[in-house]
Amino acid sequence: MTPRLGSNWRRYLSFFGRRPERDVDDELAFHVQARVDEYIATGMDPEAARAATLVRLGDLTRYRGETLAIEQQEQRRRTMSNVAHSVIGDIRFGARQLGRNLPLTIAALLCFALGVGANTSIFSVVNAVLFRPLPFPDSDKLVVVTEGVTKLAADISSISAPDLLDYRETEGRAFRSLALIRRRDVTIAVNGEAEVIPGAAVTPSTFKVLRVAPAVGRVFLDADTVAGAPLVVVISDGLWRRRYGADRSMIGRQITLSSGTTAEVVGIMPSGFAFPMPGLGMPVADIFLPFRFSPAVLAQRADNFGALAIGRLQNGVSEERAESSLAEIVRQLPQRYPDSWGKSQSRGGTPLIHVKSMRRTAVGDSRRPLLVLLGAVGFVLLIACINVASLFIARASARKREIAIRRVLGATRGRLTQQFLAEALLLLAAGSVLGLIAAHWGTQALVALAPGNFYSSFDVSVDSRVLAFTGGLTVLTALVFAMLPGFHGRSSDAEQSLRTEGRSSTANRTRQRGRRVLIVTEVAFALMLTIGAGLMLRSLARVRAVNPGFDSDNLVTFNINLPATAYGDVDRIKLTERQIVQRLREIPGVTSASAASGLPMQGDWLIVFTPEGPPQSQSPVAANTLVLPGYFEAMRIPLRAGRLFSERDTKSAPSAVIINETLAREYYGSGNPIGRQFKWGPRDSPGPLSEIIGVVADVKQRSLDEEPSPAVYHAVLQQDTGVNVSIYRTLAYVVRTRLAPASVAAAIRTAVRGVDPKLVVLNVRPMDMIVGQTIETRRFNATLLGLFAALALALAATGVYGVLQYSVIQRRREMGIRIAIGATSSNMIALIVGQAVRLAAVGVAIGLAGAFALTRLIRALLFNTDPLDGLTFVASAGVLLVIAVLSSYLPARRALRIDPLIAMRAE
């Protein structure tokens, strides 16, 4: 046993390499030693024993290689657990590294949390509105049925209620069931405080179509719709909680409607049930009443197209097939009902029918703005990521010595990347958690602030798709982050980096270039966003500047409903309404007052009319308003020709109408329309001919951003009985005051009570607010986009600042030399600011090109604004350049403060 030999062998074996092979080498060394020992024991001399042993063993190099190959294969299988192990180490190391530079870590965290939060919020809404099914079971079978009349110069998005009874013949074949919904707001008076509750009259089948059961109690039965049945209502969870304190004993309780009738609450819908929805043309209802096919309703066949028809398709039935089976019935309607559909067909042409998915109908026009917002918020995240990446690169440069040493010591690029990845993932995971928390609030805020409760009728919540989206974002960003610093530690650089570290008088050019590319990208994206937001805000400003056709300042509006129980007589209605107007005018500070069947921007009432002259190919349609005398004066709608209604335009006077300029131009040509004939109704209807007494200016009927359309005004005082009674029983009043609108509300109530103490004043609102609401969606989208653009600008400013600041630090030796050889302050500032402006200019050029290509996508969202609006482009570019100059100010000051002596000694 000679230790010398053993150690020799070990030395020989260690020639092959180091650690992983040690076990195999030990094993072989043991064998060699044992054999040598044995030969020596038989009397051989050690040299001969060693030689014999080697012969005996054979080609040791080869056998060792084979053994190792087998072992290494084993090794590879163990790699997975090793990786897991090293990842834990990396995470610990990463956490230490992140903790060491807390301001940087927090900045990165905030950037990312902001980006992820905003993205997840918008995506939650996009997901709910565009991707997720409507919140009803099996909702892809839900459809909306709409009728049309070929020759009508307007679209109908609903049906004439009685037709539903005919369509229900398809139940069991194309449709599982069909239902009808009609808007019916209800005024509930509790303790003298009246409140208008958005409501809907629905057929009992509605709940079957939607497949939603009440949370408590029952929904409607067919028995509830029979004439004379006691009135029952179903209320929403929201109303139950808000108004009745979530009292379980509400079921069976009678509630009093302001009209004096009482209704029994029979059911409460579950929370989250939101129906109808704004996209279907009706607000979400808080109270449901049974819809009754009363004789009055049945009398309006082929007329009064104001009912929403929905249906649930039979399994396996397509929308097209459902439509064709309804079309069969529609074709028979003129024969079945010659008095209504028969006549309608002869003058209006063939009736049409459409079946469209409820989801598509509900989403409507909201698709594009949502996608634009999603794109915008994606840009913000991108800019945030670039910022964070740039921070990381700055740090990687600061750590380049560490990286270089580790590379020289044998760390592979993969290993280093893995480490950076762990660090980035740690940061981003924390950022994502923060972002998700932010997104929770953000989503709630979006839903709450969105105009008209639009999003609340969709199922907006964080689901697996949203989580996957956020997770995907995180991983993607982490990968990018890990790659960027990894590239900076390329092996070829490593040695050089170690060598030059001590003496770098100017910044490393390649590294600088990398960061500059990031900043240029950032500026470009920020500019695109700014231009997009600029265009939207410019559109908003233009819409707000639109003249609605009347003066909405200091104009207060409210509604009064004269209950049918107390006001059955037509003349009494008219008298009371005139008395109310008279009292209103007597209020101190009130300059004028009047009333109309409906006010602009609050929904319109379209009628078919017949102008003087030859028959038209299409039945003309106009928005109709019944007005009391003084209406145009109070609204300050300018008179263009003729005269306005006066107190003398009553039933005893010849029937008179006032038309707007658009109607005059489109249907009465260039000649003076005053004194010419006008008929409310189709050509062959029995209605009286009226004389046009005046032409007034166009008024925006539905919203500020619409095109002018024909409108006609009739005098309330000339109306007779019939269906119109219910319309002028519920007038909207307008009061123009010299005082603040809010201050006259009490005086208005007193004045109305002076006429009849039982009357309830509803919806007292300044007209400004009503006008504003019509552009609420536009304002909302523009504000959000503006917010994102502001965020992008702030991030871009930080990015430019960061790069310059870093470059000043990196080049402080160079700066020191410059100052030492006599560079002036202005030289130095020009140097730094010039760098910023050059970077920004390149970014601006790219951003302008990008905006040029992209703004076409938002053309549909703009109002009177060219997607290539020069002013917006120039101003946005200017803003970015100014920001670049401003954000270079601090770094420039820092450069000026450099003490040449210290700077040159610094490294």
Partner 1 sequence: MRISLLPIDILWEEPNIPRDTLREPAVSTSLDLLQGTLDLLVLRTLSWGPAHGYDVARWIQDVTGDVLRVEEGSLYPALHRLEKRKLLKSSWGLSRNNRRAKYYEITAKGREALASEASAWSSFTKAVATVMTSAERPEWAK
Which residues sit at the interface with partner 1, rule CB under 8 A? 1, 23-24, 26-28, 30-31, 33-35, 37, 56-60, 62-67, 69-74
Shortest reach from residue 47's CB to partner 1, in Å: 19
Shortest reach from residue 35's CB to partner 1, in Å: 7
Q: Which is nearer to partner 1, 24 or 839 (CB)?
A: 24
CA dist 526 and 188 (Å) reads 51
Shortest reach from residue 467's CB to partner 1, in Å: 40
Name 609's bridge partners: 680
- Which residue type is seen at 620? P
Shortest reach from residue 844's CB to partner 1, in Å: 58
Q: Which is nearer to partner 1, 28 or 422 (CB)?
A: 28
Q: Which is nearer to partner 1, 28 or 386 (CB)?
A: 28
CA dist 705 and 784 (Å) reads 19
In a 13 Å sphere around the CA of 559, the CA atoms on its Cβ side amount to 19
CA dist 371 and 126 (Å) reads 7
The helix or strand, by DSSP H or E, that contains position 891, with its residue range, turns out to be helix 889-896
Shortest reach from residue 18's CB to partner 1, in Å: 18
Shortest reach from residue 62's CB to partner 1, in Å: 5
Q: Which is nearer to partner 1, 26 or 501 (CB)?
A: 26
The helix or strand, by DSSP H or E, that contains position 595, with its residue range, turns out to be strand 590-596
Nearest to 582, CA basis, from 691, 791, 735, 741: 735
Nearest to 281, CA basis, from 149, 452, 161, 140: 452
Q: Is the peptide bond before 276 cis (omega within 30 degrees of 0)?
A: yes
Give CA separation, 231 vs 25, 189, 292, 784, in Å. Answer: 96, 17, 11, 45
Q: Which is nearer to partner 1, 74 or 571 (CB)?
A: 74
| Residues in the chain, total | 907
Give the 3-state secondary structure of 276-301: CCHHHCCCCCCEEEECCCCHHHHCCC
Give the 3-state secondary structure of 385-429: HHHHHHHHHHHHHHCHHHHHHHHHCCCCHHHHHHHHHHHHHHHHH
Shortest reach from residue 414's CB to partner 1, in Å: 22
Q: Which is nearer to partner 1, 37 or 866 (CB)?
A: 37
Q: Which is nearer to partner 1, 1 or 882 (CB)?
A: 1
Shortest reach from residue 363's CB to partner 1, in Å: 57
Q: Is 904 helix (H, G, I), strand (E, B) or coil?
A: helix
Q: Can you tell me which residue has the tokens 């003490």? A: 899
Q: Which is nearer to partner 1, 62 or 248 (CB)?
A: 62
Q: Which is nearer to partner 1, 31 or 894 (CB)?
A: 31
- Residue 694 tokens, joined: 């005046």
Shortest reach from residue 70's CB to partner 1, in Å: 4
Encode burial over 845-882: b for 16+ CB neighbours within 10 A, e otherwise: ebbbebbeebbeebeebbbebebebeebbeebbebbbe
Q: Which is nearer to partner 1, 82 or 616 (CB)?
A: 82
Show the DSSP H helices in 179-318 as ranges: 205-210, 237-244, 295-298
Q: Which is nearer to partner 1, 1 or 223 (CB)?
A: 1
Shortest reach from residue 32's CB to partner 1, in Å: 9
Shortest reach from residue 410's CB to partner 1, in Å: 23
Shortest reach from residue 44's CB to partner 1, in Å: 16
Q: Which is nearer to partner 1, 59 or 706 (CB)?
A: 59
Give CA separation, 524 vs 269, 386, 592, 745, 850, in Å. Answer: 51, 12, 55, 52, 8
Shortest reach from residue 81's CB to partner 1, in Å: 17
Q: Which is nearer to partner 1, 1 or 723 (CB)?
A: 1
What DSSP state is assigned to residue 618? Answer: S
Q: Are 624 and 699 in contact (CB under 8 A)?
A: no
Q: Are 759 and 753 in contact (CB under 8 A)?
A: yes
Secondary structure E strands in 432-490: none
CA dist 602 and 286 (Å) reads 19
Q: Which is nearer to partner 1, 38 or 155 (CB)?
A: 38
Q: Which is nearer to partner 1, 57 or 725 (CB)?
A: 57
Shortest reach from residue 375's CB to partner 1, in Å: 51
Q: Which is nearer to partner 1, 29 or 129 (CB)?
A: 29
Residue 41's CB is within 10 A of a number of other CB atoms, namely 10
Q: Is 740 helix (H, G, I), strand (E, B) or coil?
A: coil
Nearest to 127, CA basis, from 379, 433, 439: 439
CA dist 229 and 293 (Å) reads 13
CA dist 439 and 445 (Å) reads 9
Q: Which is nearer to partner 1, 78 or 248 (CB)?
A: 78
CA dist 444 and 432 (Å) reads 18
> What is the DSSP pairing of strand 606-611 with strand 621-627?
antiparallel
Shortest reach from residue 85's CB to partner 1, in Å: 22
CA dist 58 and 54 (Å) reads 6
Number of DSSP helices (H) and strands (E) in the chain, helices first: 30, 23
Read off φ and ψ for residue 12, nearest 5 degrees: -60, -45
Q: Which is nearer to partner 1, 65 or 669 (CB)?
A: 65
The helix or strand, by DSSP H or E, that contains position 56, with its residue range, turns out to be helix 46-57
Q: Is 183 helix (H, G, I), strand (E, B) or coil?
A: strand
Shortest reach from residue 3's CB to partner 1, in Å: 11
Shortest reach from residue 55's CB to partner 1, in Å: 9
- Residue 764 tokens, joined: 């007292």
Name 690's bridge partners: 678
Shortest reach from residue 17's CB to partner 1, in Å: 15
CA dist 528 and 545 (Å) reads 26
